[in-house]
Amino acid sequence: MGMDLVLSKESIDNIINVLDEDLLRAGADCVLLVDRSGNLIVNRGDPANLDVVALAALSAANFGATAEIAKLIGEDDFALLFHKGKNENIHFTKVGKGFILITLFGKDVSLGLIRLNTAKVTDQLIPILGGEQ
Amino acid sequence: MSFIDLSKNEVQCKVVYYGPGRGGKTTNLLYIHQAMTEAVRGKMVTIDTKGDRTLFFDFLPLALGKIQGLSIKIQLYTVPGQVMYNATRKLVLKGVDGIVFVADSLRVQKEKNVESLENLRQNLAEDNIDIKEIPLVLQYNKRDLGGSNIPILSVEEMEEDLNQELQVPWFTGSALKGDGVFETLREISKRTVKYVSRKLLSR
């Protein structure tokens, strides 16, 4: 059974700093950290009109469903997912075993930059989420 | 798995409505959604529904006020009841903190109820969760059909089929009319919060 997650104010502040520094400053519109059971841990950026709680639940489900696809083709999991829209794109990255980083960004931000920065952010988040891996 | 945010003093828990197909899990959530004010509930999300069956899950977040200074947020999920969708059920059960088992009072569903409860036990066991330890509440739904010419199971018979070993709290219900819906929700919320806080204290 997955352990319950308790995060102190300090840990939350650290997560916020990392997300703001490396993703919002790079042009992402909104960044969410969720766990794989669908809990929203942190959301940053401008989520006007965006139902972040539903987005967290659906993203966890989406990740779970694609993990099943991965198993069908002999993989354990997919480390990242990307959905492209007309104006808005969404990028999902696995963080450790139990978390997902969701990045929303517009058409004027390059996918390469987001990928590069989410990789950096993931490395910084894992020790903060530490004991839960 | 529950999540406690100490910067907001908030706890989030996950409650899953489980049970055989067409038993009234989604109807429970719809009733809660209709009856609660917007201040308390978030948007209900229903995905991949083909006809009146849930193919993936329904989702409804609720804010249930404060206990000892901690805001309680509960997220309700339903699973697809049809036997063939077990992979989806396992996915939705991931990180569950409390379960409502919605049993169907129709006599023709007698075996389906038992099968679904057994399926729940197995799926939990695969995740190393003992069905006797996790908060669980039974709801015997569709009681409003009593008195019509459709044969239904007596409460005693349902108790014998489903609750003899478990001995968990149960409620009769009619999700369509709202009977028993809030009683069930109140009981599972109480038990889930207690369970999560007890786990936290033992850390």
CB contact under 8 A, B6 and A41: no
pLDDT of residue B46: 84
pLDDT of residue A1: 43
Distance from C-alpha of A102 to C-alpha of A33, rounded to nearest angstrom: 6
- The domain containing residue B69 runs over which residues? 3-201
pLDDT of residue B118: 98
User: Which of B45, B75, B200 has its CB closest to that of A6?
Assistant: B200
CB contact under 8 A, B59 and A65: no
CB B76 within 8 A of CB B33: no
pLDDT of residue B203: 65
Q: What is the CATH number of the domain that holds A100?
A: 3.30.450.30
Find the mean pLDDT for residues B139-153.
94
Bridge pairing between strands B136-141 and B10-18? unpaired
Q: B71: closest CA among B3, B5, B11? A: B11
Please state the pTM of the whole predicted model.
0.90
- Furthest-apart CA pair in chain A: how many Å? 42
- The domain containing residue A70 runs over which residues? 9-132
CB contact under 8 A, A51 and B1: no
Q: Note the pLDDT tens digit of each residue in A32-71.
A: 999 998 999 999 998 778 899 999 999 998 988 898 899 9
Q: What is the CATH number of the domain that holds B185?
A: 3.40.50.300
Q: Note the pLDDT tens digit of each residue in A120-130.
A: 999 999 999 97
Question: For residue A4, is it within any domain?
Answer: no
Q: Residue A40: list chain B partners with CB under 8 A.
A: 12
Q: Note the pLDDT tens digit of each residue in B51-110.
A: 667 778 899 999 988 887 889 999 999 999 888 889 889 999 999 999 999 999 999 999
Question: For residue A69, is it within any domain?
Answer: yes
How many structural domains are present in chain B? 1
Task: Report ipTM for this prediction.
Answer: 0.81
Using the Cα atoms of residue A11, residue A16, residue A18 and residue A19 in order, give the sign of their dihedral. positive
Question: For residue A43, is it within any domain?
Answer: yes
How many structural domains are present in chain A? 1
